[in-house]
Amino acid sequence: MIRVLCLAAVLVLALAAPAAAHTVTAGTDLRIAQTIAGAEVTVVVKGTTRVPGPLRIGVIAYQPVSGLPIGLEVRSVEDGRTVTGTAQAAANPQYTQLQVERTGPHELKLSAGNETAVIPFRVLVERDSAGAFLIYGGLFVAAVLLVGGLLTGATARPGRAMALAAGAAAGVTVAAMVIVFESQVPAPPPDGAAPAPAPTTSTAEGRPYVQARMETVPAQPEAGEEFTLRVDLVDGSTGRPVDDLTAHHEALAHVVVTSEDGRYFRHVHPLRTAPGHLEVRLSAGRPGRYLAHAELERENSGGQLVAADFTVGGPAKASAESGTVTESGKTGAPATQAGTTVTPRLQPAVPIAGRPTTIDLDTPAGVRTWLGMTGHLLIRGQDGRFFGHVHEMGAPGSRVRFTFSFPEPGRYLAWVQYATADRIVTVPFTVNVTAPEAK
Amino acid sequence: MIKRWHAVAAAALVIAAVALYVVSRSTAAEPVNLTTTGSRYTATVLIADPAPGQVTVEIKVSKGDADTVALSAVMAEMGHSTPEISATMREPGRFVAVGELFPMSGVWELSIRLDGPAGEEQLAVKTLITE
Ligand SMILES: [Cu+2]
């Protein structure tokens, strides 16, 4: 009996619906990286087990911030009820508790400085499984009837004992049937879940492509002046704004902006300002041509890469960054480990096009997961026509290791990024890839 | 002997009822009743008989004085969209639209474009349409 109950418990756990994108349910947090007020942060929304219930929101900072308050506003898209609060971004943030009254679609509005982001998400609460009710109900009835049957049998009333035993058998059969067949029947979705077809009827995989336009405001930024990089997303089949981006590696979009020579490097996470519109503020100290690469992923689809370029005008500003100085406090800015020069080790030392190359980099103690991974390797072809993003999947240790097959011979610019307790470290380097020997 | 037979029959009935319940749970097409609130309007969408093809959609506007309501639908999964259909005002705050909003079964996003003295606003609800 205990074994059966354990099995039932395991099945009930296994039947819990998988968490979809942008949903918060107890035990499944929503994590979204944002570049806001010049800071690189990850907003964490922890789920609730009930409604009305508490929704806990924290903002993790990945660089030194002294008292960066982030305004929070959670709004139910159904009834419009809004609750507000404030979170302080910190390496180990305090969580602000906001009360949600219902499940279903909500919006989280973040504001800091004069920037605002609106993140759509769903509050889900696990429903009691009807299957679990039947399993436990059936077993309970069986147990009661079996005891009844034994007692009745002991008092020598075979007819009634038989009826009770049959009832017990029915109870056990119901429980067993549900245990066996429930796995083939879709579990009820959590309360507040987005409508979805039954898994068996969903044959379509992958949504239409995103038609993306990236542009700066103003169209030609001045060196040293703040500008906005806008990403406008339109569905290639309907012409409507694309508003179904998943939190892919903990961000709606990962945008890497580099100067043509690679000395300027920013890895940022734009804010959703309206359906199909993302924005991030940047500034660049030197005039010249800049390249922007954006990675994003629609719901139930694969990842997509969008590329654009823009020109920064005007004379260079004194604060012009070089690729190897420490620029703490600036978003995604490159930095070296204090007082050390770290060079990645390549194997083979001269990579061959089309063959796997491993890249190792020693890391200090205290590396922490950023964007769901221990380390990130961003690769750009010299001319900007190739862009790659590789992950170190292992747990933080004394090094990060990446494997990548450079597609063609030539010169590549590369940056390894990882997060320590108080900053994001960026290590730039270049790779010269040779052609495989002709046979 | 007869009693034993009764017990078996009762058990079989219980099992059949449970099987029916488990199967029917996933197939029932329920009426759509969804509410969405924007900055200007609150709209409730009622579809008594949601199915692919011709449907009658009732829109109740409980916040904001809408004088025009128009509906269109998008199936994001496949990239389908349907023409906009105008809803007719039956009484203040109650609009009805009839048309082919959902050409096939799947998850549809129903866009509700409302206009009135407060200005225009586009709201949306998502619903699963099955045969
Ligand atoms: Cu990123």
Judge if A6 and A133 occupy the same domain: yes
- Rounded to the nearest 10°, the torsion over CA A149, A150, A154, A156 is 20
Query: At B120, phi and psi to the nearest 5?
Result: -95, 145
* Cβ within 8 Å, pair A79-B35: yes
Query: At A21, phi and psi to the nearest 5?
Result: -65, 150
State the pairing for strand pair A115-123/A23-24. Answer: parallel
Judge if A71 and A96 occupy the same domain: yes
Judge if A9 and A137 occupy the same domain: yes
**Residue from the list A170, A198, A299 with its beta carbon closest to the beta carbon of B11:** A170
Judge if A9 and A85 occupy the same domain: no
Provide DSSP, A7-71: HHHHHHHHTSPPP-TTEEBTTB-EEEEEEETTEEEEEEEE--SSSSEEEEEEEEESS--SSEEEE
* CA nearest to A131 within chain B: B22
What is the extent of the structural domain holding A246? 206-312
Question: What distance in Å separates residue B103's CA from the closest CA in chain A?
Answer: 15
Judge if B23 and B62 occupy the same domain: no
| Distance in Å, CA A308 to ligand 1 centroid | 17
Judge if B25 and B41 occupy the same domain: no
Judge if A263 and A222 occupy the same domain: yes
- Tell me which DSSP letter residue A333 carries: -
Residue A276 lies in a domain: yes
The residues pairing with A236 across neighbouring beta strands, listed in sequence order, are none
Judge if B66 and B116 occupy the same domain: yes
What mean pLDDT comes out for the span A409-431?
94
What's the pLDDT tens digit per position in A98-141?
999 999 999 999 999 999 999 999 999 988 666 666 677 777 77
* Cβ within 8 Å, pair A174-B15: yes
**Residue from the list A167, A174, A240 with its beta carbon closest to the beta carbon of B81:** A240
Cα distance from N-terminal residue to C-terminal residue, chain B: 48
State how many domains chain A has.
Answer: 4
- Tell me which DSSP letter residue A106 carries: E
| Distance in Å, CA A386 to ligand 1 centroid | 17
Higher-pLDDT residue of A186 and A353 is A353
Query: At B11, phi and psi to the nearest 5?
Result: -60, -45
Judge if B75 and B87 occupy the same domain: yes
B38 vs A contacts (CB less than 8 Å) = 80
What is the extent of the structural domain holding B18? 1-29
* Cβ within 8 Å, pair B79-A235: yes
Contacts of A105 (CB under 8 A, 6+ apart): A76, A77, A78, A120, A121, A122, A194, B36
What's the pLDDT tens digit per position in A31-74?
999 999 999 999 999 988 898 999 999 999 998 887 789 999 99
Judge if A259 and A293 occupy the same domain: yes
Residue A22's pLDDT is 78
How crowded is residue A358: how many other Cβ atoms within 10 Å of its Cβ?
A: 14
Contact A145, A167 (CB under 8 A): yes
What mean pLDDT comes out for the span A211-238?
95
ipTM here: 0.79
- Least trusted range by pLDDT, from A16-30, A186-200, A302-316: A16-30
Residue A196 lies in a domain: no
Provide DSSP, A286-330: S-EEEEEEEEEEBTTS-EEEEEEEEEEBSSPPTT---TTS--TTS
Strand order in the sheet with A277-283: A210-217, A226-235, A277-283, A271-274
| Distance in Å, CA B109 to ligand 1 centroid | 29
The tokens of B11 are what? 């058990």
CATH code, domain carrying A67: 2.60.40.1930
Contacts of A107 (CB under 8 A, 6+ apart): A74, A75, A77, A118, A119, A120, A121
CA gyration radius, chain A: 28
Residue A429 lies in a domain: yes
- Asked whether residue B49 carries a pLDDT value surpassing 70, the answer given is yes
Helix (H, G, I), strand (E, B) or coil at A372: coil
Question: What distance in Å separates residue B86's CA from the closest CA in chain A?
Answer: 19
| Measured distance CA(A339)–CA(A113) in Å, rounded | 33
Q: Whole-structure pTM over 0.90, yes or no?
A: no
Judge if A10 and A148 occupy the same domain: yes
B3 vs A contacts (CB less than 8 Å) = 159, 162-163
Residue A65's pLDDT is 82
Judge if B59 and B23 occupy the same domain: no
State how many domains chain B has.
Answer: 2
A79: left (phi over 0), alpha (psi -120 to 50) or beta: alpha
For residue B119, CA distances in Å to A110, B40, B91, B110, B113 come to 25, 8, 20, 20, 11
Question: What distance in Å separates residue B85's CA from the closest CA in chain A?
Answer: 16
Judge if A75 and A135 occupy the same domain: no
Judge if A152 and A138 occupy the same domain: yes
Judge if B36 and B99 occupy the same domain: yes
The tokens of B65 are what? 């004085």
- Asked whether residue A159 carries a pLDDT value surpassing 90, the answer given is no
Quote the longest CA-to-CA distance of chain B: 79
| Measured distance CA(A331)–CA(A224) in Å, rounded | 15
Residue A199: pLDDT band (50, 70, 90) is low
What's the pLDDT tens digit per position in B15-37?
777 666 655 555 557 899 999 99
| Measured distance CA(A289)–CA(A131) in Å, rounded | 61
Q: What is the pLDDT of chain A when averaged over all its residues? A: 84
CATH code, domain carrying A363: 2.60.40.10
A196-233: burial string, b at 16+ Cβ within 10 Å, e else: bbeeeeeeeeebbebebebebeeeebbbbeebbbbbbb
Higher-pLDDT residue of B131 and A103 is A103
Judge if B58 and B85 occupy the same domain: yes
The tokens of A184 are what? 């083939």
Judge if A210 and A308 occupy the same domain: yes
Residue A184: pLDDT band (50, 70, 90) is low
Residue A154 lies in a domain: yes
Judge if B99 and B124 occupy the same domain: yes
Judge if B21 and B37 occupy the same domain: no
User: Of the candidates A234, A349, A344, A342, which has an alpha carbon nearest to the alpha carbon of residue A298?
Assistant: A234
Residue A195 lies in a domain: no
| Measured distance CA(A266)–CA(A330) in Å, rounded | 9
Residue A150's pLDDT is 67
Judge if A373 and A419 occupy the same domain: yes
Residue B98's pLDDT is 96
Residue A346 lies in a domain: yes
Question: What distance in Å separates residue B94's CA from the closest CA in chain A?
Answer: 18
The tokens of A422 are what? 């108080």
Judge if B15 and B79 occupy the same domain: no
CATH code, domain carrying B48: 2.60.40.1930
Judge if B12 and B76 occupy the same domain: no
Judge if A398 and A350 occupy the same domain: yes
Judge if B23 and B35 occupy the same domain: no
Provide DSSP, B24-87: HTTT--PPEEEEEE-SS-EEEEEESS--SEEEEEEEEEEES--SEEEEEEEETTTTEE---EEP
